[in-house]
Amino acid sequence: MTKQSFLKGAFILIMAGLITRILGFANKIVVARIMGAEGVGLYMMAVPTLLLIITLTQLGLPVAISKLVAEADADNDRTKIKRILVVSLSVTAVLSIIFTLLMIVGAPLISQHLLTDPRAFYPLVAISPIVPIVALSSVLRGYFQGLQNMKPTAYSQIIEQLVRITLVATFTTAFLPYGIEYAAAGAMLSAVLGELASLLYMIYTFKRKKKFRVRRRFFTYAKDGKDTLNDLLAIALPTTGSRLIGSVSFFFEPIVVAQSLALAGVATVVATSQYGELAGYVIPMLLLPTFITYSLSVSLVPAISEAAHQNNYKMIHHRLEQALRLAFVSGGCSVVILYVFAEPIMELVYNAPTVAAYLKIMAPFSLMLYLQGPLQAALQALSLAKAAMINSFIGAFVKIAAIFVLASRPELGIMGAALAIVIGFLLVTLLHFATLVKTISFTLNIRDIFKVITAIVITGTLAHWLWDHSFTQTDLLPRTLVLIILSGFFYLLIISGMGLIKKEEASRIPLLRNFIR
């Protein structure tokens, strides 16, 4: 089976992530244009519940699978790899059936009493079949990632988005005449079919690439897999604890926002629309660049796990420094673009220029958000998932408390929720970094941080000047695109000149090989 280096594997996922984010972004635009802020609000109200159920179903196994398979592959132990896969499939199959049924049965209670909008029942029920599909595909992704073969994950992501975007406009438009809640359910149905197509591809790839027969003595491996299960759960339970905390926090977020805005005197329909703007418009824009840090994180787990298994701490520090530097560099460009071009972006994408105020407040702090993924991946790979879970709990608790305190104040309203979300991810990132410093004496390169901040300031100043003085008579769309491309190119020149992308790293990335030479 094809095995990639850390950088090559990360690059494959980054390119796939770029394509899927563009497609996913187009999908969100279509949904927003057809259903409006209220429909997006209903859609986003169902998403936290879905993520909570998926987190419980997966039980943190994908990360554990990736780590243990990487270690077993380093020892060339095929029997252990098969046992890991069999035990993981058995556990997720049982859990997916249980939690899918619970989600369907609990949909009326959740929609009416917790989300305070009975219409959320329809998207909740429509999305429930996705749970077993995602559970099974995540096990297969963890297996491939543990073998440091990122191509199946990359291709499956693209397939999922292609199917989803092909169907979403058809389903939402077809169901819209029956009500906005049915249109939101139609959008959820397109997501289910997209994940199903992705799963079918993963199964096909697994059958073609596997070096052992899974069905042969399946139940024997499952019965004899007690030690393997214990090894998986030792990593999976703290990992799922972190994700569960995040999912529970995300689950309560719309509830606390709705209740807080009610205390501030905001009507239910208005509160749903405002939350739709924040969670459906602004947050996805901030998360758009995280496909880079996600790709680095996925590649980082098996790379650091293998190095730790071989007691190669020099390589651990090297890989972590690489991942954080690349995350910091990519996040810097995002901060400039989202801050300087906030109004035209929100007007072009969502026809909601007033929402740019939330984006400009949150964008500068998002730089810390982009570091959170690699830091957490390193903690999980080093068997420090329990510490990551505690950090996530502290951040989630502070965020929910801050939402209640700030969003319930009439002078802040939904802006208070935006500030509380920023406080939450800043705190978690800092706690993750502090844990690594304490455990492996890891340190950041201060000179590189100063270089990135300098590049952000210089590029931001230039981009702001260009927006005020260039192409002022040009239509908004071509003007915005040209200036974003110019700003991004100028940023790339600065970071290249500062040596923030190393020549040996660029030489492994085809698109940058000639540029950095």
**Interacting residues of 156 by C-beta distance below 8 A, sequence separation 6+:** 137, 141, 198, 199, 201, 202, 205
Q: Which residue is associated with the tokens 């997916």?
A: 96
Separation between Cα atoms, residue 8 and residue 299, nearest integer Å:
9
H/E element, 5: none
pLDDT in tens, 378-401: 888 888 888 888 998 899 899 889
Whether residue 491 is predicted with pLDDT greater than 90 in this model: the reply is yes
Whether residue 509 is predicted with pLDDT greater than 70 in this model: the reply is no
Cα pseudo-dihedral 409, 287, 379, 53, rounded to 10: 80
pLDDT in tens, 21-59: 788 777 777 777 777 777 777 777 777 777 777 777 777
CA 300 to chain centre: 15
Q: What's the pLDDT score for residue 517?
A: 46
Closest to 359 (Cα-Cα) out of 379, 384, 340? 340
Q: C-alpha distances in angstroms, 234 versus 230, 293, 355, 393?
A: 6, 25, 43, 18
Q: What's the pLDDT score for residue 382?
A: 87
Whether residue 512 is predicted with pLDDT greater than 60 in this model: the reply is no
Whether residue 499 is predicted with pLDDT greater than 60 in this model: the reply is yes
pLDDT in tens, 57-91: 777 788 888 888 888 887 787 778 888 888 888 88
Whether residue 515 is predicted with pLDDT greater than 60 in this model: the reply is no
Q: What's the pLDDT score for residue 516?
A: 45
pLDDT in tens, 338-348: 999 999 998 88
Separation between Cα atoms, residue 509 and residue 184, nearest integer Å:
40
The DSSP secondary-structure symbol of 353 reads G
Q: What's the pLDDT score for residue 260?
A: 80
Whether residue 510 is predicted with pLDDT greater than 70 in this model: the reply is no
Separation between Cα atoms, residue 290 and residue 270, nearest integer Å:
30
Mean pLDDT of 121-125: 82
HSE-up of residue 44 (Cα within 13 Å, Cβ side): 31
State the helix-helix crossing angle for 130-146 and 151-175, rounded to 10 degrees. 160
Residue boundaries of the structural domains of the chain: 6-444, 445-517
pLDDT in tens, 262-278: 777 776 667 677 777 78
